[in-house]
Copies of this chain bind each other. A is one copy, B any other.
Amino acid sequence: MRASARLFADHADLWGRITTHPFVLAAADGSMTQEAFDRWIVADHHFVVGFRRYLGRMLELAPDEPSRDLLSGGITALTPELQLFRDAAMERGLDLDAEPGPIALGYTSFIQASPADGFEVGMAVLLGAERAYHDAWKAVRATAEEHSPYWGFIDNWSSAGFGAYVDAIAATVDRLGGAAVGPPAKRAFSRVVRFELAFWDAVHDGDPWP
């Protein structure tokens, strides 16, 4: 088994909840309320803003040109992705600077802080976060119609191009080996999956401060 595959195999129970989370199911069958989708746009935009900064730090810490080329490509791909959020917020009159709740802020902060545990740990985080999005939105795509109001987002993360990017991340994790799948990397990977589920709960049900 490839090292990256081991990360998924070791967290199979958690991973199974990614594609069957109520938020994902509601996006797929069209039953999501407009309020929930608006909350998601603002919260996920906050996340992607922090995620681009995390990719910047990963580019700084990357140990060789192939991994820097990979991360550079990831940063480039965020330009149209961020535009999707900006356009959707404009159309819907949403305030993208609205204060995030504790789970949205904590998850985004966790992603941003993760490279301090080493580049390899940061790569395990990248693999978990990107593949979670790919798998979740592929599950949505399978049932959603092309005229879904979320089609731009669905297509962004379920496309073959994004799938190839996730595969390239996994191949880098396999190439790094060692620290990229050691105990700190596994722990970080597990935290990504748990935070992703908590984030969708928060979008679905609210994310209030005490």
Contact = CB atoms under 8 A, between A and B. Distances in A.
Interface of A: 49-50, 52-63, 65, 68-69, 71-73, 75-76, 78-79, 82, 99, 102-103, 105-107, 109-110, 112-113, 116-119, 178-179, 184, 187, 191, 194-195, 197-198, 201, 209-210
A75 B49 contact: no
Copies in the complex: 4
Contact of A53 (B73, B116, B195): B116
Contacts of A61: 53, 56, 116, 118
Q: Which of A57, A75, A109, A119 gathers most chain B CB within 10 Å?
A: A109
A72 B75 contact: yes
Contact of A198 (B102, B110, B187, B198): B102
A78 to B, nearest CB: 7
Nearest to A69: B79
A59 B112 CA distance: 12
A83 to B, nearest CB: 10
Contacts of A55: 56, 59
